[in-house]
Structure 1
Amino acid sequence: MTLTLHEHPFAAYCWKALVALYERDVPFERHFVGGEADRARLAELWPMASIPVLVDDAAALTLPESTTIVEYLDGHGDAPPLVPADPAHALQARLWDRVSDGHVMTPMQKIVGDNLRPDGRGDPEGVAEAHAALDRAYALLDAHLADGGWAAGPAFTLADCAAAPALFYARIVHRWDEERLANLTRYFAALTARPSVARVIEEAREHRHLFPLPWPDYVP
């Protein structure tokens, strides 16, 4: 066993790496990052002290950042690559990975983060902008997904690893119109039914008390 993932099972970007590990059926050890001692150790590995961080002892390699980790994992296991070999298809996988991270995850985190601020220190204008940004992202994704399939085509890729946590948490803070945006709704149902994604959701269940907003009834 040479791979160790430093992570927290409720952290959205850790989900992205975990989905990839489960998709590729790669053996790995998990190091839970919780208290100050864990954070101090994490900062020794990666000065930004952000998770996830993947350590490959055999290769003497430490990799931060979820997208980089997913790409690296294509060199492990026998499953189809999460970054397709075809350059045009790979470009689409990387593009829609960026869409999920930048246009879904980022505004979602703005909304969540605002609820962690002390009373009177909120940013209502920024939160309103984040909700509007999610509406734009949902409309973009719904149009893009009109032909069915996964986020970057017929195969499950890096783009879907990114979409899983982004859409799961964004739907909690800003639910889309599931009838009007039927393509996005269909895709999300397929995504959360995927065994790798369903496993990550289930593993995070016991940590839902950490979420700073009420957990909605429509998220089982």
Structure 2
Amino acid sequence: MPLTLYFHPLSSFCHKVLIALYEYGIDVEKRIIDLSDEADRAELRSLWPIGKFPVIRDHDRQRDVPESSVIIEYLDHFHGGRQRLIPGDWDSALEVRLWDRFFDLHVQGPLQQIVADRLHGTHADLAPQRTALLTAYHLLEQHMASRIWAAGADFSLADCAATPALFYASTLVAFPDDHRHLGAYFERLVQRPSVQRVIAEAKPYFAWYPFAEAIPQRFR
């Protein structure tokens, strides 16, 4: 296959890229990287010295592309075909990129700090991170009151970012009961065939998620 994805099925940022791949209908070779394995770590660092997944190797162009947002931009440009996750119109594309960054920085950021705390047993004061998630939820509740998808009429890069961010964040800090627009948006996301495929592929690995007990039964 012309593309190889270096990833892990439990990783939220890998989920983001997988959703895009499935939306595009792109066939890709999948190489699971076990970060506890020295050889796997070395292989990943040979592609991206930072040593983080996901990374995509484009064999035809002899290029390795790291970072989830950049990978999706790359796929959209070279492999998107008729299905585009980033609009051609500059203003619309800017909106998509804004909400992509919102989910990566203001939802993924706090949730990963909370997960890392449990993984490493540091028992830090995580009240600021939980407050940050609630702040993000409140903003999204207002934002989603007048729209179907995060950045416009069509499913986009922003929704690829939203899905794993909200999936994992909701296991740490539940959506408030009165946030019906946020809840409805999340339901639209998880009904997407690309998302259902990603969740199904992640199921065998959910037991290793530090908050596995908080994953709703319907996803396990």
TM-score per shorter chain, which class?
A: over 0.9
Residue correspondence of structure 1 range 98-137 to structure 2 within 5 A: 98-118=101-121, 121-124=122-125, 127-137=126-136
Number of the residue aligned with 1:51: 53
* Root mean square deviation of aligned Cα: 1.1
Q: Which amino acid aligns with 1:159?
A: A
Judging changes above 3 Å, is the alpha-carbon distance between structure 1 residues 111 and 88 closer, same or farther for their aligned structure 2 residues?
Answer: same
Residue correspondence of structure 1 range 146-157 to structure 2 within 5 A: 146-157=145-156
Q: For 1:115, what is the secondary structure of its paired residue?
A: helix
Written as runs of structure 1 = structure 2, the 5 A alignment for 1:1-220 is 1-34=1-34, 35-74=37-76, 75-118=78-121, 121-124=122-125, 127-177=126-176, 179-216=177-214, 218-220=216-218
**Matched letter for residue 170 of structure 2:** R
Summarize the Cα distance change of 1:164–1:18 in structure 2 as closer, same or farther, 3 Å threshold.
Answer: same
Alpha-carbon offset, residue 79 of structure 1: 3.6
Change in CA separation of 1:219 and 1:163 when aligned onto 2, cut-off 3 Å: farther
- Aligned-partner Cα distance in 1 for 2:81–2:120: 45
Residue identity in the other structure for 2:100: D
Q: Is the 8 A contact 1:172 1:219 kept in 2?
A: no
Alpha carbons 1:7, 1:53 under 8 Å: kept:
yes
Greater alpha carbon shift after TM alignment, 157-166 vs 206-215 = 206-215
Q: Which runs of 4+ in 1 moved over 3 A?
A: none
- The count of residues paired between Structure 1 and Structure 2 equals 215
Secondary structure of 1:51's partner?
coil
Q: From the superposition, tell whether residues 22 and 46 of structure 1 become closer, same or farther in structure 2 (CA, over 3 Å).
A: same
Unaligned 5+ segments in structure 2 are none
CA contact (8 A) 1:7 1:32 kept: yes
- Per the normalisation by structure 1, the TM-score is 0.95
- Contact 2:16–2:160 (CA under 8 A) maintained in structure 1: yes
User: Identity over aligned residues, as a percent?
Assistant: 44
CA contact (8 A) 1:23 1:79 kept: no
- Does the Cα contact within 8 Å between 1:5 and 1:28 map onto a contact in 2? yes
Aligned residue identity for 1:108 = L
CA shift digits 1:83-116 (9 cap, x unpaired): 1011111011000000000000000011111101
